[in-house]
């Protein structure tokens, strides 16, 4: 005679709990993935998106005898400035707030000027404005695109 082997399977309750847990985990993964893809909006000037404000930044710059001069005749205060130095096909980027002790702590407000002796070794420099705005998490800096002022050294 043959003996039957006792085969046990998952009960319907355990299977349902496992399915619900898997669905919740997959939903959380998708939620955090989509949340990470959307950038947090940084605003300036009564809720205007800071990317649009970057287009309104106006500043003048020149580099003479190792001295960099920057003036802000526009209406948008410039919190900081990134300096991209291009030489021989490569580039380095420096934060002017950290490089120069002369940069105003509150930034370059309307009508203000900045000058400091900063020797740059390269063929040209690109000045990229950095703005500060409000977000849900507080104040944040935003680096505008590289369509800043290009200065040939």
Which structural domain range is residue 63 located in?
43-152
Domain count, the chain: 2
- For residues 36 and 108, state if they share a domain: no
pLDDT of residue 17: 92
- For residues 74 and 96, state if they share a domain: yes
Q: How distant is the alpha carbon of residue 86 from its chain centre? A: 21
Give the predicted TM-score (pTM) of the model: 0.67
- For residues 85 and 18, state if they share a domain: no
- For residues 126 and 52, state if they share a domain: yes
Spatial separation of the C-alpha atoms in residues 127 and 37, rounded to whole Å:
28
- For residues 126 and 138, state if they share a domain: yes
DSSP the chain: -PPPP------HHHHHHHHHHHHHHHHHHHHHHHHHHSPPP-EETTTEEHHHHHTT---EEEEETTEEEEE--SSS-B-EEEEEEEETTEEEEEEHHHH-S-S-TT-B-TT-EEEEE----SSEEEEEEEEEEEETTEEEEEEPPS-SEEEE-
- For residues 33 and 98, state if they share a domain: no
pLDDT of residue 101: 85
Question: Is the residue at 128 inside a domain?
Answer: yes
Question: Is the residue at 1 inside a domain?
Answer: no
- For residues 78 and 29, state if they share a domain: no
Question: Is the residue at 6 inside a domain?
Answer: no
pLDDT of residue 153: 47
- For residues 73 and 108, state if they share a domain: yes
Question: Is the residue at 88 inside a domain?
Answer: yes
**Consecutive 10-residue runs of the chain (153 residues): their mean pLDDT?**
64 89 96 77 72 82 86 88 85 84 85 86 84 81 72 52
Query: What would the two tokens of residue 42 be?
Result: 């940084």
């Amino acid at each position: 005679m043959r003996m039957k082997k006792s085969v046990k399977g998952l009960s319907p309750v355990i299977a349902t709990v496992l399915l619900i847990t898997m669905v919740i985990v997959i939903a959380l993964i998708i939620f955090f993935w989509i949340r990470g893809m959307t950038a947090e909006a940084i605003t300036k000037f009564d809720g205007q998106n800071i990317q649009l404000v970057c287009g309104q930044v106006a500043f003048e710059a020149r580099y003479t005898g190792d001295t960099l001069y920057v003036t802000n005749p526009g209406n948008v205060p410039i919190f900081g400035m990134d300096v991209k130095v291009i030489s021989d096909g490569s580039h380095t980027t420096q934060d002017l707030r950290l490089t120069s002790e002369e940069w105003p702590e509150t930034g370059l407000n309307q009508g203000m000027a900045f000058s400091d002796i900063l020797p740059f070794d390269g063929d040209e420099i690109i000045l990229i404005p950095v703005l500060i705005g409000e977000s849900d998490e507080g104040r944040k800096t935003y680096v505008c695109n590289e369509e800043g002022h290009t200065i040939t050294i």
